[in-house]
Amino acid sequence: EAGVAQSPRYKIIEKRQSVAFWCNPISGHATLYWYQQILGQGPKLLIQFQNNGVVDDSQLPKDRFSAERLKGVDSTLKIQPAKLEDSAVYLCASSPRGGLATQETQYFGPGTRLLVL
């Protein structure tokens, strides 16, 4: 089974520029998550999709961050304009939907490391 795919793996931009990250979840997984992991911290959820609908975006800085999952499969996270404090690893994860314990696990992609100069 193929894992969660993310691209690019690394990105360096200057502040006030825009950047986009792409994620393709595990096939058949209905739920998709974007996390931000700042160096030395645990991941923090930015947004959760259930199919193509948003379940939780309470911690997404909506003035500069946006995300979409138009066809309920892959997703794009965008930052415009970027700030220095956005330097972090952006992790995408996916999970099946359901009540069984094995379906509650989130599977993570390799992440995109963003450096804002």
Partner 1 sequence: AQTVTQSQPEMSVQEAETVTLSCTYDTSESNYYLFWYKQPPSRQMILVIRQEAYKQQNATENRFSVNFQKAAKSFSLKISDSQLGDTAMYFCAFRPRSNFGNEKLTFGTGTRLTIIP
CB of 81 to partner 1, least distance (A): 26
In whole angstroms, how close is the CB of 46 to partner 1 at the nearest point?
A: 10
Sequence-distant (≥ 6) Cβ neighbours of residue 102 within 8 angstroms: none
What are the tokens at 46? 């930015």
Closest CA to 3 of 26, 22, 24, 21: 26
- Residue ranges in contact with partner 1 by CB under 8 A: 31, 33, 40-45, 48, 50, 55-56, 89, 91, 93, 95, 97, 99, 101, 104-111, 113
Least Å from the CB of residue 15 to partner 1: 23
Nearer to partner 1 among residue 85 and residue 104 (C-beta)? 104
Q: Are 83 and 64 a contacting pair, CB within 8 Å?
A: yes
